[in-house]
A and B are shown apart, each in its own frame.
Chain A
Amino acid sequence: DAGVIQSPRHEVTEMGQEVTLRCKPISGHDYLFWYRQTMMRGLELLIYFNNNVPIDDSGMPEDRFSAKMPNASFSTLKIQPSEPRDSAVYFCASSPTRPGVEQFFGPGTRLTVL
């Protein structure tokens, strides 16, 4: 299995532009998570899905952020418009159904907003 796949690995954009981050979870995993990591705030859970349905989006910082999971093998995190304070590493993770099991993280997307 290739693991969790994220694209792009690096993204540099200018303030005000739309940014779309992509994630392909491990096949058969029913849960998908989006995290953001910064030096100031560490690793933060933004949103997670179960069977393609958003369950908890309380970590999404504001309306500029949106996430979708149109099918079991694909999710997007969109920022529109982007701001310099959105610069961070964004991780996607997936896990199987049962509680208390491990999450598998992707390599992350490093976003820089100028």
Chain B
Amino acid sequence: DAKTTQPNSMESNEEEPVHLPCNHSTISGTDYIHWYRQLPSQGPEYVIHGLTSNVNNRMASLAIAEDRKSSTLILHRATLRDAAVYYCILNPAGNQFYFGTGTSLTVIP
């Protein structure tokens, strides 16, 4: 399974943008890039996913490098409710997800 590398932790001030990086240098052409987050004491929840082009939804934006070896999850205005562990996952053209250790995001009021 393809590997991803994320910083263990990040901090952000409330109402400021947050850029969460992910490196996936061994990505293959059919791997989708997924982001999930896990709030304390909850199951993971879907944030966003993409293949080649940048993606936007109501929760976040996903910026994918041109060579697809890295991506960045962008939260446009962090709120206290965004404090969670964020997982960057490569999903081959199938349905298995292999979660790494993720980035623990702390939002400072």
Contact = CB atoms under 8 A, between A and B. Distances in A.
Contact of A100 (B32, B42, B43, B98): B32
Contacts, number: 55
Given A99-B32, A99-B91, A104 B46 contact: yes
A102 B43 CA distance: 13
B7 interface: no
Interface string B18-44: 000000000000001010000000111
Closest 4 CB pairs of A and B: A105-B43, A102-B46, A43-B99, A100-B32
24 contacts: A33-B95, A33-B97, A42-B99, A42-B101, A43-B87, A44-B99, A45-B98, A45-B99, A48-B96, A50-B95, A56-B96, A91-B43, A93-B43, A95-B95, A99-B91, A99-B92, A99-B94, A100-B49, A100-B91, A102-B49, A103-B97, A105-B43, A106-B43, A108-B43
Interface of B: 32, 34, 42-46, 49, 51, 87, 91-102
